[in-house]
Amino acid sequence: MADRHLIDVHVLLLRDDDVLLTCRRDTTPLFDGLWHLPSGKLDAGASVLDAAVREAEEEVGVHLDPADPCLVHTLHVNGSGPEPRLGLFFEARRWTGTPTNWEPDKCSAVRWFPLDNLPDRLIDYPAAASTPTAPRSPSTPEAGLGNQQILRQLRQVVVDWAPNDGEGDKVLWLFDCGPLGNGEQRISLDSSELDLWEWVPVNRIDDYVIPRLARRLTQAHHAYIDGRPVYLEQGRPPDRGSPPAAPLKPEFT
């Protein structure tokens, strides 16, 4: 069994109701000739948003302003390759340049398709994020190759790229799991790790948790109110007017 998950980043370039797809060249017959979104694996030290901008430029020759792509979807994929993966999908409706096949050794065609009439030979897990019936709101389904059925959904509110000098690169997710209702009495803690829980006003989170977690939780609350997920870097919305964020030093206060 694989002992890690790959993280890959996908770009939905949308022109009205059309999406841009690329047709793969692959030495593996299973994947050769399949349509896909512009995408690539997240490199160590690179932010998720920077990876989305890079893949759009490298694969189809368009430049995205890093302020424009919007996180719309996350997929946990098991069974589409030798390693399980998490796919992050960014939507962009503005760019500079004309989409063109910039990687003819890896791609045989670039073409616009209506969102309600996608090609049959489309890799399943990007298809699950591209079809109009897919949950384009904050969610994280699980999918497997040959199976587009969504097995489980949670309401995703935050994806946070959080490199750390002491712990390495991390991508962290926060989810809204729905109202607790009358289930409060069922809350139980692992006594080896936790000994207390309590309800905390959002405006007092700083009094209870370390700064980077307080930032993340506060942004999660904003995303919950807004009804759409938010992409963060080290607990903050990325500011592309400044250099990319440096890894955090461990925080103990």
pLDDT tens readout for residues 120-168: 888 877 777 665 444 444 444 444 333 333 334 467 888 898 887 777 7
pLDDT for 150: 32
pLDDT tens readout for residues 171-201: 888 888 777 767 667 777 888 888 888 889 9
Helix, strand, coil proportions of the chain in percent (round to 5)? Answer: 20, 30, 50
179 in the same domain as 102: no
pLDDT for 61: 95
DSSP sequence for 169-227: --EEEEEE----GGGGGG----TTT--------GGGGGGTS-HHHHHHHHHHHHHHHHT
Q: Which domain holds residue 202?
A: 155-233
168 in the same domain as 132: no
Residue 243 lies in a domain: no
- The total of structural domains in the chain comes to 2
134 in the same domain as 183: no
pLDDT tens readout for residues 60-110: 999 999 888 988 888 877 765 667 788 889 999 999 999 999 999 999 999
136 in the same domain as 189: no
Among 140, 22, 147, 132, which residue's Cα sits nearest to residue 89?
140
19 in the same domain as 66: yes
pLDDT for 240: 59
| Entry pTM | 0.72
Residue 110 lies in a domain: yes
When comparing pLDDT for 193 and 3, which is higher? 193
116 in the same domain as 188: no
